[in-house]
Amino acid sequence: MTKDLDRLLELADLTASRINDWIETNEPIFVISHLDADGISAAGIIGSALVRRNAPFHLRITRQLDQVFLSELAAHGLSRYIFCDLGSGQLPHIQEALGKGEVVILDHHPPDQNRLPSNFRQLNPHLCGFDGTNEISGAGVAYLAARHLGGSNEDLAALAVVGALGDIQDRGKQHSFIGLNKEIIVEDAIAADVIDQSIDLRIFGRETRPIHIALQYSSDPFIPGISSNPEGALSFLADLDIELREGDRLRTIASLSKEEKRQLNSSLITYMLKQNIPPREAQSLIGVVYTLKNEEKGSYLRDARMFATLLNATGRSDQGGIGVAICMGNRGAFYRKAESILKEYREQLALGLQWLTEDADAVVARKLIQTFHAKSKVPDTIVGSIAGMALNSRILDWSKPVIAFVYSRDGRVKVSGRTTRRIVDAGADLGEAMKLASEEIGSGSEGGGHNIAAGATIPRGQEERFLQVIERILTKQLGRMKAAKPSDEDSNNEETIK
């Protein structure tokens, strides 16, 4: 389908008009959003826009839209609903549960092809030829609606940047954005003077952690001999002309001068090349960073990627409301609680990665995929994060998609799939594979997502059958294309580092 920006913006205006009509009646609106960083950012955008119009609303953060959740939603007795970062793939379920209500869907996942009734309105980039996996996130779609709701909401573009980073949509040159994220979201955020875009080290903790700690915790990319190695990080820094302290305080990467950053950047890349890391991967340390100008220096909210990580932690810890409150401007106790949640969340991730590393039988390699079953070892909300981190840090085989299982709290099995851009470029689409495999398994199974990251829920005891179906589907997908062309992130063409 040809990209049609005029049509997308027209749909955004029509969608906002529908919400504006609701606001005029002063009846409460129910906002429902996904629990990841993108979904929480989207909820923060819509929540902020409604508050600015003095519109009453309720808000729920959920892991998925299944029939049980939708039945609970319908029991509240409200008649107006906004779904953020979900809904497009669950239209039949929504219609069945809320068919008599008025519904707006703000989503970027591939939509169900069912015809919408007149009481439904959907804003989705796929309907206008845009790729929701790479070009705009759920928060970005929410922002497109919010900028047409009246008032001045351009500052909310900063949250759309956070949401897009949470969905790992920084797929352009030097981890910049492409498509609508670049042409609308970032442009609006810069024009509103809420985002600064620059080239720097893309390491978690660049604003908050001492330099050696930030390097030690780097996992994307993984730095051999430094990542997960405190002594190695300190030994590396000892050879550089960089003071790690300023008075009584340990310095952060963000506090370094331009010359110090240049020295650190070039030394890290030279070190990684000597460790036989491919040039493109070594240089992925350096890239575009997005700084929220109105946030306090040294805060987790200052760096947009760190902001996204904080939000993801609240959602994956079943406390997404804390994340939404922060997005809507609340700090103080909410921010301190979020910091505590993040600490516990990262400890859980570390334990999960430790288990994968130490248990020789945890990961099973198959012909096309690799898989592990966490059973009850980790919460069902974080198994996908563990799979992604293990893939990025090379704990898992980078050449194969990973399909991870964990027992969910409802007695079923949560499935998370993660892969790399290179495998997607070869023809793999995990979202399609999860959807088709779930349909074949049946018995209430549901699945979907993006080509690079997707999920499903299946009955217990169906794991092996599910893997067999996934492998059959991936075989067909990969067979549709010839040998993969190198993507930007896998190319060996070197970029100049300034």
pLDDT (tens digit per residue) in 440-468: 999 889 898 888 999 999 999 999 999 99
Whether the per-residue pLDDT at 486 is higher than 80: the answer is: no
Residue 14 burial (CB count, 10 A): 13
Q: How confident is the model at residue 481 (pLDDT cuts 50, 70, 90)?
A: low
- Report the topology of domain 5-199: inorganic pyrophosphatase (n-terminal core) (3.90.1640)
pLDDT tens per residue across span 201-232: 888 888 888 999 999 888 777 788 888 788 99
pLDDT tens track for 126-151: 999 999 989 999 999 999 999 999 77
Mean pLDDT of 410-415: 93
Q: Output the pTM of the full model.
A: 0.87
pLDDT of residue 430: 95
Beta bridge partners of 201: 286
Q: Distance between CA 126 and CA 86 in Å, rounded?
A: 13
pLDDT band at 316, cuts 50/70/90? very high
Domain locations in the chain as residue ranges: 5-199, 200-321+338-346, 359-479
Sheet holding 29-34, edge to edge: 57-62, 29-34, 80-84, 102-106, 120-123
Mean pLDDT of the chain: 90
Evaluate whether the domain defined by 359-479 bears CATH number 3.40.50.280: no
**Residue 371 burial class via C-beta count within 10 angstroms: exposed 0-12, middle 13-18, buried 19 and up:** buried
As a whole number, mean pLDDT of residues 310-339 equals: 96
Query: Do 359-479 and 5-199 have the same topology in CATH?
Result: no
**What single string gives the DSSP state of each residue in 224-269?**
TTTTT-HHHHHHHHHTSS--SEETTEE-BGGGS-HHHHHHHHHHHH
DSSP 181: I
Kindly state the tokens that stand for 74: 């319908």
Given a cut of 90, whether residue 64 has pLDDT beyond it is: no
